[in-house]
Amino acid sequence: MHFFDRIAKIDRRIIFLLIGLAVIIPLIAPLGLPVDITAPVKSVYDRIEAMPEGSIVVVSIDYDPGSEAELYPATLAFLDHCFRKNHKVYMMGLWAPGITLGNIAFQEIAPKYNKEYGIDYINVGYKPGGAVMLLTLGRNVADVVATDYQGLPIDSFPLGRMVKNSRDMDLVMTFSAGDPGILHWIIYFNARFGTPIAGATTAISAPRQYPYLSSGQLLGLLGGLKGAAEYETLVGRVDRATAGMDSQSIAHVVIVLFIIMGNIILVWEHRRKK
């Protein structure tokens, strides 16, 4: 059998093995490739930097454990930045599993800055209802949020009392893996109430948000693990996302080589037919 015939009929598992090695080896032996900063990520960073101390940032955890690898590092980096700038974080979630992930993030970051629950940050829990809930939230938070995620009355917390409607929210940052997510916030919150929306999303969904970036409906975007790595670089936090960039780089190169090989086979097959 000709060499190209063998390659054309290659067992998928060999492709999987090569991809596995492309991801694992750089984790063991990092290359230290520099992370460049793109404009959509810088926009989010600049906004947090520019907001006056004490601004209220609504953080919406709209992802589940499946997307944790891409979005959790972005969550950590963003919370780190917010707490460093002494902004208040009002967390909620349009996805039920997101609340636990959000709490884990708080447990990791808040003690570092001596932030106190109920004063500097709060988690009001999972809010189902998508569009309906967001429209109600913007008009009157009390109609949607009666307690925090533990079931304690929201008014028993100073931060809980501060947020009454959309005008009390200085920025909404949504970490979104799908639906409901960024688009819901843009369509039902930004369009209705004018609150600026920024987002972090998985790499697959990032291209879809560019029209909204271009029109200004989305203030900024952290796309995939790369976006998270860029934000970590901006806030000076070398963590999982930055560590994953070398692996992602090599994996992308390997996939491109597969594509090139596939097209060489295509050309060879055409010539053979002639």
Q: Scan residues 185-244 and list those touching other proteins (CB under 8 A).
A: 191-194, 202-205, 207-208, 210-211, 213-214, 226
CA 244 to chain centre: 15
**Minimal distance, residue 65 CB to other proteins, in Å:** 4
Q: Which is nearer to other proteins, 113 or 149 (CB)?
A: 149
- Give the one residue of 57, 99, 124, 137 binding other proteins; rule: CB under 8 A: 99
- Residue 161 touching other proteins (CB under 8 A): no
Nearest residue (CB) to other proteins, 183 versus 235: 183
113 binds other proteins (CB under 8 A): no
Distance of alpha carbon 270 from alpha carbon 274, whole angstroms? 6
Residues near 96 by beta carbon (within 8 Å), at least 6 away in sequence: 126, 128
Main-chain dihedrals φ then ψ at residue 10, nearest 5 degrees? -55, 140
Beta carbon of residue 106, minimum distance to other proteins (angstroms, whole number):
11
**Residues sharing a CB contact under 8 Å with residue 114, sequence separation 6 or more, in sequence order:** none
Per CB under 8 A, the segment of 75-83, 86-94, 113-121, 256-264 that binds other proteins is 256-264
Q: Which helix (H) or strand (E) holds 237?
A: none
Q: Which residues contact 179 (CB under 8 A, 6 or more apart)?
A: 130
> Which residue's CB is nearer to other proteins, number 79 or number 229?
229
Question: Minimum distance from CB of 113 to other proteins (Å)?
Answer: 21
Residue whose CB is less far from other proteins, 112 or 167: 167
For residue 102, give the nearest of 220, 17, 200 by alpha carbon. 200
Q: How far is the CB of 188 from other proteins (least distance, A)?
A: 12
Backbone angles phi, psi at 32, to 5 degrees: 70, 35
Q: Would you tell me how many other CB atoms lie within 10 Å of the CB of residue 211?
A: 10
Any contact of residue 119 with other proteins (CB under 8 A)?
Answer: no
The interface region with other proteins, picked from 9-17, 41-49, 82-90, 114-122 by CB under 8 A, is 9-17
- Residue 258 interacts with other proteins (CB under 8 A): yes or no: yes
The total of other beta-carbon atoms located within 10 Å of residue 49's CB is 12
Nearest CA to 74 among 269, 223, 181? Answer: 223
Half-sphere exposure of 158 (CA within 13 A, CB side): 9
Over the window 12 to 41, marking each residue x when it contacts other proteins by CB under 8 A and - when it does not, the resulting string is x--xx-xxx--x---------xxxx-xx--
The DSSP bridge partners found for residue 126 are: 93
Q: Which of residues 131-150 bind other proteins (CB under 8 A)?
A: 132, 136, 149-150
Task: By CB under 8 A, name the one of 3, 52, 114, 274 that touches other proteins.
Answer: 52
